[in-house]
Amino acid sequence: MPQLHVLRVFCDSAWSHGNPLGVFLDGDEVPEERRQDVAAELGFSETVFVDDAAEGRIRIYTPAFELGFAGHPSVGTAWLLGKERQPVETLRPPAGEVKVRVDGGKTFVTARPEWGPDWKFFELPDAAAVEDAPDLPDGEQVGCIWSWVDEAEGTVRSRCFSHDDNIGEDEATGSAAICLAAAVDRPIEIFQGRGSRLDARPVGDGFAEVGGRVVLDEVREFAL
């Protein structure tokens, strides 16, 4: 029976909050034709199937479809491989090679902004406006509202929504953080969701990185 690890990715400094993630370290135990149904049943914003732990080959599914790259699944899987198997320097989702590094208790991954979903960004006047917004403007389906908390310090308040894959508001969104860091062209600390924390920065040549803290909440058998 496949074993499922349930993590929270992009926790705060007290290891609270973060975005839940399901990871099957032995992904080949879940037939490819069942993976989408499994992701939908679990209901996490993403579920990862590791096809080759040593090579870092992974597949990422939302409840509705497969993604070529996503941030919080990549950060969480890189951390889990280092904890349960062996550290990896590179993950290989379908979109491309994702470099991994660990620094100060945080796990970071590097990717190109275009590898993830097509996030649309809407800058609002202040953090209170971000807090009070009911949803994305203009009926947009996939996007982020954000504002500077302290522009000099590089702190940001954001909320991200993806209605096209039955997620709605996402607690912590690594691919969007990569896009935003690339767009503002500077390191940023993002406060997202109920209390998640993400660090992101451009790293040159069209790449940016995102990272944060990860915790393991549960390991359980999953009946197919």
**Residue 191 and residue 216 in one domain:** no
Which helix H or strand E contains 75, and what residues bound it? Answer: helix 71-84
Q: How many domains does the chain have?
A: 2
Which helix H or strand E contains 81, and what residues bound it? Answer: helix 71-84
Q: Hey, CA dihedral for 13, 14, 19, 24, is it positive or negative?
A: positive
Other C-beta atoms closer than 10 Å to the C-beta of 224 total 11
Q: What is the pLDDT of residues 68-124, one digit of tens each?
A: 999 999 999 999 999 999 999 999 999 999 999 999 999 999 999 999 999 999 999
pLDDT at 165: 86
**Residue 137 and residue 56 in one domain:** no
**Residue 47 and residue 106 in one domain:** yes
**Residue 98 and residue 39 in one domain:** yes
- Of the candidates 41, 46, 97, 153, the residue annotated as catalytic is 46
pLDDT at 70: 98
46 is catalytic: yes
At residue 130, φ and ψ (nearest 5 deg) are -65, -45
pLDDT at 71: 98
Helix (H, G, I), strand (E, B) or coil at 214: strand
**Residue 198 and residue 90 in one domain:** no
Relative to beta strand 3-11, strand 120-123 is unpaired
pLDDT at 95: 98
Structural domain of residue 36, as residue ranges?
3-112+211-221
Helix (H, G, I), strand (E, B) or coil at 66: strand
Instruction: Give the closest residue to 55 by CA, choosing from 18, 90, 5, 16.
Output: 90
The CATH number assigned to the domain holding 77 equals 3.10.310.10
**Residue 88 and residue 124 in one domain:** no
How many Å is the maximal CA-CA distance in the chain? Answer: 51
Q: What is the pLDDT of residues 29-66, one digit of tens each?
A: 999 999 999 999 999 999 999 999 999 999 999 999 99
pTM of the model: 0.97
Helix (H, G, I), strand (E, B) or coil at 95: coil
**Residue 51 and residue 71 in one domain:** yes
**Residue 102 and residue 133 in one domain:** no
pLDDT at 166: 81
In our burial notation (b when 16+ CB lie closer than 10 A, e otherwise), range 54-63 reads: eebbbbbbbb
pLDDT at 174: 98
